[in-house]
Amino acid sequence: MRKILCLLVVMALVVSFVACAKNGEEQPNVTTGSTTTTEETTEANPFEEFFEITWLTQLNADWQEERWDELELEERFNVDLQVWAEDGRNAERMAALVAAGEIPDYFFAPGLPKDPYGMYADGLTRSITLQQMKDWIPEYVEAMEKLPIGFSYNLVPGTTDEYLGFTHNNLSGSQYFYDATIVNLDWLEAVGYGIDEDKMQEYSFVGENEPLRGQLYIADGDFTFDDFNEILRAFTEDDPDGNGIDDTFGMLYLIESAWTNMTQEGLFGVCHDLNYLYKDPVTGDVVPKYGYTPYRDYLAWVSDNLAKGFMKQRPGVEGWVVEYQQMSLTNKYGIYGGHGGVGSAYPPLNILKTVDANSRFVMGPLFSGPNGVKTDITYNIDPYGTGNYRVIFIGEQVDDAKLERICSILRYTTYSSQENWTRYKYGIEGIHFNWEGEKFISTRVGVPVADLAPEYRGQLNVFGLWHYPSVVQQQIDYAELTDTWTYMPYMHANNLFEKYALNPAKYTSEAYMGREMYAEFVTDRAETNTELNPIINDFKTRALAGEIANYNTEWTEYIDSLYANGLQTMIDKYYNNPDFKEYDPGEKFTIRE
């Protein structure tokens, strides 16, 4: 009976299969001679395994458990985020944690008692490979590929693709010209060197400085070096302020600093930063500024103008900031090396607010040097760095599975969208801040802490990587949308950063030289500087005092002395060394968002 029933069931199944086929329905995948059956599969949950993750950053001191961002991420990634209420900058607390062997899974702690190499060598942190980054947080790698020198930062010793942690990437700092040339526009017109109105952009003062609109302009000047020298003379001798008194000067000369790169030595293709190295046109060697032939021409130019009275030095009794402010407030200098951000204590704003609210100024890359050179340097050479302030660590106890989950969290908070990057760095729109105008273009206006519910208080920027993307396009969009132009968006909109950036032949840093070479270099540089600095300082002092009769002759003697007292050794061992990489800006000047 059982056999008959089985036979009937089989026959019924066959009939039903045939009926389905006749009705055009897809038949199941049945294979005779085996029992293989294809079934619909469900996508695996990438966060199925649960993790407890300890977390510490420099901003955790006021941490309250079960905060909004912690709860969001815990639910999304199936983790328990155990955030330590510590400030990673507190050296005493960080030393105590390290001494006790209490190492978080993920941490940014500038106050650590050991540098990244020491933390790794002592078995307190683990590494992450380039392949793991590509697999688990590819956007981090993609951002670095735009300025590839980043791959040379914070390498595990003896490796080429394994890292001590996550290197910070702050692109905005390397797309920023710190200084600008500032010129009294009324004086410029008075001596016959005005600028066409259609070549100038009005600088947009806002807030308390709003009444000063129309007093400052931005321009990409086309004045030659001959023009510059004639303007210096005319500002000094032709009574540009029209008061009938011989009391004006062409320019306030400042000792070389971040404020003078564009206005002074940038005209000769050099800068104040001695990490910048140049290929000398005479010797063919790669050398620092003090051994670079155009630096001779720069000193000769300054010396000549000081002697003529067209440039005026500070007294040098007090600090340069105090004396710069005091001298500029006399409103008797036509040209200044200034700050592109237009600080209220410096020209031209200090003059406009306290001396002459009706005067007008123009700022920007205005003058060219003797060879048509017009350069400036960016605030940072690149977005990266070394040391505890520039690296985020992973504890040695973290296995690959947990590290992958940490990368998933960082990828989500930092790279998944502009909305998420803003949310986990600056808070929730409508709660922590509101947009002043257009979303992601205008300024964020923060809500006072006292107006926040308790669960929304506390320092933000805890759960993301230290990644600050380019703000170039945002600045341009905001300026165009609101017609409020300042120095940075003007420079970017007109592609003037890339046009006038001073790129060195080489740049002395661990990333370009390699850790071992750089360590030796630092030691050798300190030793040779004891011999070189007196020679360098003596030549410059005599130049500024007008004591050099023949620059060509005395420069040759000066260079011979430098080479004989250590510079030749530094050139042979380091500066001309082919293992010392040449500088590559990557896409630094073209990245916009």
Gap between the Cα atoms of 479 and 471, Å rounded: 12
Query: 586 in the Ramachandran plot: left (φ > 0), alpha (ψ -120 to 50) or beta?
Result: left
Position 341 scores a pLDDT of 87
Position 172 scores a pLDDT of 86
Question: What are the tens digits of pLDDT across the range 210-224?
Answer: 899 999 999 999 999
Same CATH topology for 51-168+384-468 and 178-377+506-575: the answer is yes
Give the DSSP letter of residue 64: -
Concatenating the DSSP letter of every residue in 177-190 gives B-EEEEEEHHHHHH
Position 19 scores a pLDDT of 37
Position 43 scores a pLDDT of 75
Residue 206 — pLDDT band, cuts 50, 70, 90?
confident
Give the DSSP letter of residue 428: -
How much is the average pLDDT of 235-262? 96
Position 39 scores a pLDDT of 54
Q: Which of 220, 325, 228, 324 is nearest to 268 (CA)?
A: 228
For residue 216, the one-letter residue type is L
Report CA Rg, the chain. 32
Give the fold, CATH level 3, of 51-168+384-468. D-Maltodextrin-Binding Protein; domain 2 (3.40.190)
Cβ 485 vs Cβ 202: under 8 Å: yes
For the chain, what percent of residues have pLDDT higher than 90? 86
Position 486 scores a pLDDT of 95
Cβ 535 vs Cβ 592: under 8 Å: no
Residue 15 — pLDDT band, cuts 50, 70, 90?
very low
How much is the average pLDDT of 273-295? 98
Position 128 scores a pLDDT of 98
Gap between the Cα atoms of 488 and 475, Å rounded: 8
In 410-454, DSSP assigns E strands to 433-435, 444-446
Residue 31 — pLDDT band, cuts 50, 70, 90?
very low
Residue 173 — pLDDT band, cuts 50, 70, 90?
confident
Could you tell me how many helices (H) and strands (E) the chain has, helices first?
20, 21
Query: In the chain, what's the furthest Cα-to-Cα distance?
Result: 130
Q: For the chain, give every domain's residue range.
A: 51-168+384-468, 178-377+506-575
Mean pLDDT of all residues in the chain?
A: 91
Is CATH 1.10.260.40 the right assignment for the domain spanning 178-377+506-575? no
| Residue 81 DSSP SS3 | strand
pLDDT at 348 over 50: yes
Position 45 scores a pLDDT of 87
**Alpha carbon of residue 106 to chain centroid:** 24
How far, in Å, are 85, 109, 159, 464 from residue 461 at the CA level? 14, 14, 31, 6
Q: Give 224's strand partners.
A: none
Position 207 scores a pLDDT of 86
pLDDT at 451 over 70: yes
In degrees and rounded to multiples of 5, residue 559 shows phi and psi of -65, -40
Position 178 scores a pLDDT of 84
How much is the average pLDDT of 143-151? 95
Residue 41 — pLDDT band, cuts 50, 70, 90?
low
pLDDT at 346 over 50: yes
Position 531 scores a pLDDT of 98
